[in-house]
Amino acid sequence: MLRNVFTKTLWDGRRSLLGWAIAIAAVGAMYAAFWPTVNTPQMQDAMRNYPQAVLEAFNYNDLASAAGYVGSSVYGLLIPLLVAVFAIAYGTRALAGDEEAGTLDLLLAHPVSRVRTALSRFAALCTALAVVGAVLLLAMLAISGPADLGSITPGEFAAATLQLVLFGALLGALAFAVGAATGRKALAIGVTAGVAVLGYLANGVFPQVRGLAWTRDVSPWHWYLGGEPLKNGLQVGDSLLLLGVTVVLVLCGTWLFNRRDVAV
Amino acid sequence: MADTAIRTEQLVKTYGRSRGLAGLDLEVRRGEVYGFLGPNGAGKTTTIRLLLDLIRPTSGTISVLGLDPRRDGVALRRKVGYLAGDFVVDGRQTGRELLTYLGNLRGGVRRQRVDELAARLDLDLGRRIKSLSKGNRQKVGVVQAFMHDPELLVLDEPTSGLDPFLQQVFVTMVHEAKAAGQTAFMSSHVMGEVQHTADRVGIIREGRLVTVEGVEALRERAVRNVEIHFETPVPADEFAALPGVSGVHADGTVLRCRLDGRADPLVKAASRYTVLSLLSEEPDLEELFFTYYRDGKTADAA
């Protein structure tokens, strides 16, 4: 595991990765396990009494089907939030964290190029996200039988999870890019958290205001959830959009990182 | 070019609040130990970080081992060992893990060599770095800089934090590196740190090189206190008139004075009397450097 920058980064983050993967899968499985309770006439009536706007703000669009429930409760808010926090922390640490701690100098004084270092660090982030996604997917598939989620196919679970991972990668890439370009941890976290929150509001809240419907189209949340992958399977267009923006962010960040001075 | 390890021409670096460099012309020959001296903030670390391509020059050229740090950075850094004055690494790993990783980045380093260096510095590689004292952390830094026997050692205030015994070990290591044909570029803000290792010293002040001198030449020029015991009392005036001699104080048979430059006139004058003993202090080069630090122009004229 001490072979190169990629494996070393994964190795250094192993404990945190393990913790996050288990926590995210556990939260997901727990929420999914409530489906039999939610799927009762009394509960459905109770939910219908909430104003539609409130339900939409929380991505609770359709609680009458298993896919609708899991799509909003598991994949709609809490899990993407946890994935976002994990990805932003990882992306910030990738270069800016290392630089602010003063430990980047030593690495870059070795025979590794800046571009390779940056890309290796981001590759580690993608791998970590893939692990989180895989553990979550396994947990969902395992709970699907006991929680009466049989109407959602494994392929649909996989599609939603893949789009979740791409969503995390995009936010991680933004934190990575801001950190790579500026070397400032707080800025990387601030900008990315801001984008994540605005994107969330743009997906569920702004469109309720007349004239702001367009904001939904530029929200990463919409690219992730809009096509309802849990009901409709993998949304190729949305996935490519998430992937494309991620690639552009990583390339821009790496390019700027390669041009600038590394702080002491 | 083959005999030049480092060459910079009109190197300028302006950035942020720091003064940076204002046209630095540096030439370090292959196989020599070069002491790079200057007060804090003079531009020593800036120069070193430019050599390693951690920062980029505003203008001017740099050539290290015949390579351009910007274009051939990876190839260049393979041949360089770098030690920063404040060696900071992630403390959660052991010294062994860190050195294995850094060695792998260089394509592998013999474990035997690492163990040998660690033993010499009395460093326990099995402990987590955060549990080590500052001095012991610095030792880890020393090992990683030397372990691949680089062509060029770039050492930024390397012995800060090491105790006197280890400073002595370090001096020996630099001597050995020189004997093996390696070049060393060592920065410091005190002469004492490079006095025993450097062949030549360059003094930097406010981003410019003030002077470059051989250490021996400096030693010759430095002021030292001399005390001569004679068999019979001697006239002070006779010695006060000698070139380079000042502060003459004759107390019976003992003559004390300050000697600036060569000892020859003083020794010849003393030889006319019977000398019982002669004591000459090690020249205080530090004092000489303070004059450079204070006022570069005076030093230029000297």
Whole-number Å distance between alpha carbons of B52 and A113: 12
Nearest-by-Cβ selection for B88 from A103, A109, A112: A103
- Average pLDDT of the segment spanning B71-81: 96
B100 touches chain A (CB under 8 A): yes
Q: Compute the nearest-CA separation of B19 from chain A (Å).
A: 14
Write the DSSP string, A99-144: HHTT-HHHHHTSS--HHHHHHHHHHHHHHHHHHHHHHHHHHHHHHH
The 10s digit of each residue's pLDDT in B176-185 is: 999 999 999 9
B45 touches chain A (CB under 8 A): yes
**CB distance B56–A3 less than 8 Å?**
no
Residues of A in contact with B105 (CB under 8 A): 4-5, 107, 110-112
Q: Compute the nearest-CA separation of A108 from chain B (Å).
A: 7
Contacts for A49 with CB less than 8 Å, ≥ 6 apart: none
**CB distance A109–B80 less than 8 Å?**
yes
Whole-number Å distance between alpha carbons of A117 and B169: 34
Q: Is B245 helix (H, G, I), strand (E, B) or coil?
A: strand
AA letter at B237: D
B89 touches chain A (CB under 8 A): yes
Contact B285, B194 (CB under 8 A): no
* pLDDT, position B45: 92
**CB distance B104–A113 less than 8 Å?**
no
The dihedral sign for the CA sequence A109, A111, A112, A113: positive
* pLDDT, position B298: 45
- Average pLDDT of the segment spanning B111-130: 95
**Which H or E run contains B50?**
helix B44-51
Backbone angles phi, psi at A31, to 5 degrees: -65, -45
Q: Compute the nearest-CA separation of A165 from chain B (Å).
A: 28
- Mean pLDDT is highest, among A164-178, B3-17, B265-279, for A164-178
Whole-number Å distance between alpha carbons of A197 and A83: 14
Query: Which stretch of A5-9, A144-148, B1-5, B205-209 has the lowest confidence by average pLDDT?
Result: B1-5
Nearest-by-Cβ selection for B54 from A12, A105, A111: A105
**CB distance B89–A103 less than 8 Å?**
yes
Contact B141, B87 (CB under 8 A): yes
The 10s digit of each residue's pLDDT in B121-162 is: 999 999 999 999 989 999 999 999 999 999 999 999 988 778
- Average pLDDT of the segment spanning B193-201: 87
Instruction: Examine the pLDDT at B282 and tell me if it is beyond 80.
Output: no
Give this complex's ipTM. Answer: 0.89
Residues of A in contact with B92 (CB under 8 A): 12
Per-residue confidence band for B284, with pLDDT thresholds at 50, 70 and 90: low
* pLDDT, position B283: 67
Nearest-by-Cβ selection for B77 from A2, A8, A109: A109
Q: Is A99 buried (19+), middle (13-18) or exposed (0-12) by CB count in 10 A? A: buried
Nearest-by-Cβ selection for A261 from B15, B90, B107: B15
Domains and CATH numbers, chain B: 4-218 (3.40.50.300), 223-282 (3.30.70.2470)
Q: Compute the nearest-CA separation of B217 from chain A (Å).
A: 34
Structure tokens at A180: 């790579």
Q: Compute the nearest-CA separation of A11 from chain B (Å).
A: 11
* pLDDT, position B301: 39
Top pLDDT among B261 and A98 is at: A98
The residue whose two tokens read 């039988």 is A145
B78 touches chain A (CB under 8 A): yes
* pLDDT, position B116: 96
B105 touches chain A (CB under 8 A): yes
Residues of B in contact with A2 (CB under 8 A): 97, 100-101, 104
**CB distance B105–A108 less than 8 Å?**
no
- Average pLDDT of the segment spanning B272-291: 80
Structure tokens at B41: 């903030």
* pLDDT, position B300: 43
In this structure, the strands spanning B152-156 and B80-83 are parallel
Per-residue confidence band for B295, with pLDDT thresholds at 50, 70 and 90: low
* pLDDT, position B161: 78
* pLDDT, position A112: 96
Q: Which residue of A has its CA nearest to B141?
A: A106
Residues of chain A predicted below pLDDT 70: 59, 61
Of B155, B90, B146, the C-alpha closest to B115 is: B146
**CB distance A110–B56 less than 8 Å?**
no
Residues of A in contact with B104 (CB under 8 A): 2-4
What is the total residue count of chain A? 264
Whole-number Å distance between alpha carbons of A116 and A190: 26
